[in-house]
Structure 1
Amino acid sequence: MARCCELLAVLLCFLLMLSWCEALSSNVDDGYGHEDGSFESDSLIKLNNEDILRLKSSDDDTVNVLNFGAKGDGKTDDTQAFKKAWKKACSTNGVTNFFVPKGKTFLLKSTRFKGPCKSLRNFQIRGTLSASTKRSDYKDKNHWLLLEDVNNLSVDGGSTGIINGNGKIWWQNSCKIDKSKPCTTAPTALTLYNLKNLNVKNLRVKNAQQIQISIEKCNNVVVSNVVITAPGDSPNTDGIHITNTQNIRVSKSDIGTGDDCISIEDGTQNLQIYDLTCGPGHGISIGSLGDDNSKSYVSGINVDGAKFSGSDNGVRIKTYQGGSGTAKNIKFQNIRMENVKNPIIIDQNYCDKDTCEEQESAVQVKNVLYKNISGTSATNVAITFNCSEKYPCQEIVLENVNIKGGSASCKNVNVNERGTVSPKCS
């Protein structure tokens, strides 16, 4: 009897399943026209719903400045809208993207983007950030856009993002342009301060009020595919300024400006520069170091692959008398110079004042390699080593250097020449 009950139960279950399948097949045919009764349409609906949920989630993790009142017409002041959007993006769990859309120009006064942030990972600039041309709009005279205290951040310009400092009004009032004007500071266009694990890529910066990009007190920084431009006579418009920063890589970038293409100052360690194009500008400068009798330390600088065209300098180390510290373990290699005024220069007696008195101390410059450097000098002196009498330059190596059109001027330096070297110090 028990055996019969078990068989009956199995039979009932089978009949119920068959009935359910037929009903389901009928629903699929009626609703979506699949004559074979397959579940393809149901699966497609499920996939589309998942895509919709994913897209919704993607929207939820992005803060768009347009949703906070930014107009992007190039005339309306969008500063407060950006500040509101940043506050939301930085303080909300799950938000990973701060987004500036393309096709629009956002007029901004001095703006501070401060962390730490909860989950923000991307600062995406697809439109144009345009600086106010009213100097009175700058409560902070040292900064226009200041990004600070955010870790693990990518600042990405895509193929359309531009930062425009509209610096002409500041240049006109510079004492370097108009001697009758007092020498005052001007804002840096983009300051990156106290950031760890920073990635800056695909960014276009132009016509900064003063320095274009300043990287300060950062660690683990990658800069790639940036284009920086300003007129060759624009004062103090350094392309990339680096100070008190460790572990930096700058690659595949093109800088033409009115001051140093890259300026490297105190506290910079382990800087790698690859595939750089520079000109116009003042070249790559380590320094100035030791100003106002200060201590300065720079080490682990490697420039490998660069082209300088029509620049005032090529690769330069400059230090003030009276300072102390060291600039050491530096390599300049695989570099092409075209019509450069000072292709290779070390100046331990740098002076940017009317008079500079002889002093007892200097920043020590040592262990510097110049390798595989070629091209032409625009002046009669292609290589200048103007070193300190009391702290002469040490361990300077010229290896396979061939710069045509100028001689070498070497003072208080012991140079080791390897391979073909022209012009020669000896």
Structure 2
Amino acid sequence: MLSIKLITLLAPLTVLGAYTPQSRSSDLVVRDNGQTCTVQSGGSNSTDDSPSFRDAAKQCANGGTLVFKQGVDYYFNTPVNATLNNVNIQLNGNIHLPQNITYVQGIVNGSTGGNVWWINLTGDHLNFTGSTNLSTGWIYGHGQQWWDANPKNGSGIASRPHLWRFNVTNSYLKNIKIRKPIAWVTTLNGNNIDVQNVFVDAATTPNGGFPFNTDGFDVAAKNVKISDFAIYNGDDAVTINNGGENVTVTNGLIAGPGCHGTSIGSLGQAQGVYQTVRNIWFDNIKVHGCVYGSRIKTYLGGQGIVQNVTFSNYDVSNTTFPIYLTQNYFNQGSSQTQNGAGVQDGGNYGGRVDNSSVIIENITYKNWKGDINTYHPGDGSCVTSPCWYDVPGSDGTQAIVIGCSNSTTCKDFRFQNIQVIPQSYAQTQINCTNLDSASNPNLGLVCTNGTLITK
């Protein structure tokens, strides 16, 4: 297992500069009233264990301990929602989602808005702990059949559920093991959350369907620490969404079959909504076989700000675009938001009005090493021609791809000690647009398409 570290959480940042979090101790210990509620299992997938969880959660909702029994299989055939304050949850058994696709789609389609989190937990001082025993304490999504059912040139079949959401304060998750999630895995909302020791296995079988939208973490919370994790998936490993603030993500391994790295956004999809992400630090991340190492993505015509972000100490291998930023994001999964491949090809924006941009400022990339996927770029998620991740002029040698909307939308960028080389040992290249020297006085490189030149 990955090592468990003492909890540290961020203090708000009050000045601009390369973002390095300031830690503060936080004792996230629940007030235990001594009551223990054991979740009962019916013993097979023909019996829904969700009502048993609801009953236990209601009984121990304030100050109790919920226990899933060691080595026991639980079948959550219907979604569960619970509000739990000062509660410990101990996952010593295994949770299974239903395996009937049509049945699950019916539940999703019957929900308001078409979004379902199969497990949805809210509360204060909610601590969720999995087992350190590798033979138990798993959450099984049974997602392979969903991936295999995806039609040719499809980007994921309709009406897929999210796995789980934590809308919590002063809480932690640790020792989490998830296998074959259907799609979006962990959503974090709230404030003051610590996540430790997480393994997500969303890797498809040989010649299996692509695991579209298997995001590891979608974070829209404040004061969050995610540490010591391994994620194998087909989308962003960790993405910071609108409202994410004071977040550290450290000590991670992310890998294919088609991972999209550590991400900010996408932001600005709804053109009339102002969105923000501030004070984010990614550090000590290993990236293997991914399309991206890090990515910042905003829509043309969006509004908002991305401010104070550091990507430091990345070790990348066999990665197509190690460092990537676009202010003209292209979403192949939705014709409504389709806006073309972006500024790199002169623009093809599908009707979106180019009247604003999400401002991106005070961004630092430092201490990157590794190699570019020169010979077999991309992954198995391409369903369009040209491919959604195609960058015109790229040839497997670009360590950095930056596409800013204009000379004022990307400010105070810094690149330090970037040593990423093509697998062919050709010269490292850069594809760079609109990192203007006046707006970026300490850029550390020359922003021009061609050979990467550092200062």
Coarse TM-score class (shorter-chain normalised): 0.7 to 0.9
Q: SS where residue 327 of structure 2 aligns?
A: strand
| Change over 3 Å in CA distance of 1:60–1:300 after alignment to 2 | closer
Is 2:115 the counterpart of 1:136?
A: no
Cα offset, 1:424, TM superposition: 2.7
Cα offset, 1:146, TM superposition: 2.8
2: CA distance, partners of 1:350 / 1:328? 18
Contact persistence 2:361–2:412 (CA under 8 A): yes
Aligned partner of 1:366 among 348, 361, 365: 361
Partner of 1:412: 434
Contact persistence 1:401–1:420 (CA under 8 A): no
| Change over 3 Å in CA distance of 1:76–1:186 after alignment to 2 | same
Letter of the structure 1 residue corresponding to residue 431 of structure 2: S
Q: What is the TM-score normalised by the length of structure 1?
A: 0.78
Letter of the structure 2 residue corresponding to residue 424 of structure 1: I
Gaps of 5+ in 2: 1-31, 205-209, 332-337, 341-348, 374-395, 423-427
| Change over 3 Å in CA distance of 1:306–1:300 after alignment to 2 | same
Cα offset, 1:77, TM superposition: 2.3
2: CA distance, partners of 1:367 / 1:347? 16
| Change over 3 Å in CA distance of 1:400–1:417 after alignment to 2 | farther
Q: SS where residue 367 of structure 1 aligns?
A: strand
1: CA distance, partners of 2:78 / 2:165? 11
Aligned partner of 2:203 among 223, 231, 241: 231
Deviations 1:311-364 (A, max 9, x none): 110011000001011111000111111111110011111122264246121101
Contact persistence 2:57–2:84 (CA under 8 A): no
Partner of 1:25: none
Contact persistence 1:348–1:388 (CA under 8 A): yes
Name the structure with the higher helix share. 1
Partner of 2:174: 201
Cα offset, 1:155, TM superposition: 0.7
Is 2:251 the counterpart of 1:251?
A: no
Partner of 2:246: 270
Is 2:78 the counterpart of 1:102?
A: no
Letter of the structure 2 residue corresponding to residue 399 of structure 1: Q
Aligned partner of 1:348 among 327, 342, 349: 327
Deviations 1:57-82 (A, max 9, x none): x996211112xxx2244553212222
Aligned partner of 1:284 among 238, 249, 262: 262
Cα offset, 1:89, TM superposition: 1.8
Is 2:166 the counterpart of 1:192?
A: yes
Higher RCO (CA-CA < 8 Å; seq separation 6+): 2
Letter of the structure 1 residue corresponding to residue 188 of structure 2: I
Partner of 1:377: 372
- Choose 1 or 2 for highest CA Rg: 1
Partner of 2:59: 88
Q: For the aligned residues, what is the CA RMSD?
A: 2.6
Q: SS where residue 328 of structure 2 aligns?
A: strand
Q: How many residues align?
A: 356
2: CA distance, partners of 1:368 / 1:182? 33
| Change over 3 Å in CA distance of 1:342–1:410 after alignment to 2 | same
Cα offset, 1:278, TM superposition: 0.6
Cα offset, 1:390, TM superposition: 5.9
1: CA distance, partners of 2:453 / 2:180? 39
Cα offset, 1:282, TM superposition: 0.7
Cα offset, 1:103, TM superposition: 1.1
Cα offset, 1:382, TM superposition: 1.1
2: CA distance, partners of 1:261 / 1:302? 15
| Change over 3 Å in CA distance of 1:425–1:289 after alignment to 2 | farther
Contact persistence 1:74–1:104 (CA under 8 A): no
Partner of 2:118: 145
Cα offset, 1:256, TM superposition: 0.9
Structure 1 runs of 4+ aligned residues shifted over 4 Å read 179-183, 417-422
| Change over 3 Å in CA distance of 1:407–1:180 after alignment to 2 | closer
Deviations 1:400-424 (A, max 9, x none): 1111114111100135344999833
Q: SS where residue 124 of structure 2 aligns?
A: coil
Letter of the structure 1 residue corresponding to residue 290 of structure 2: S
Q: SS where residue 76 of structure 1 aligns?
A: coil
| Change over 3 Å in CA distance of 1:278–1:181 after alignment to 2 | closer
2: CA distance, partners of 1:72 / 1:255? 30
Contact persistence 1:190–1:214 (CA under 8 A): yes
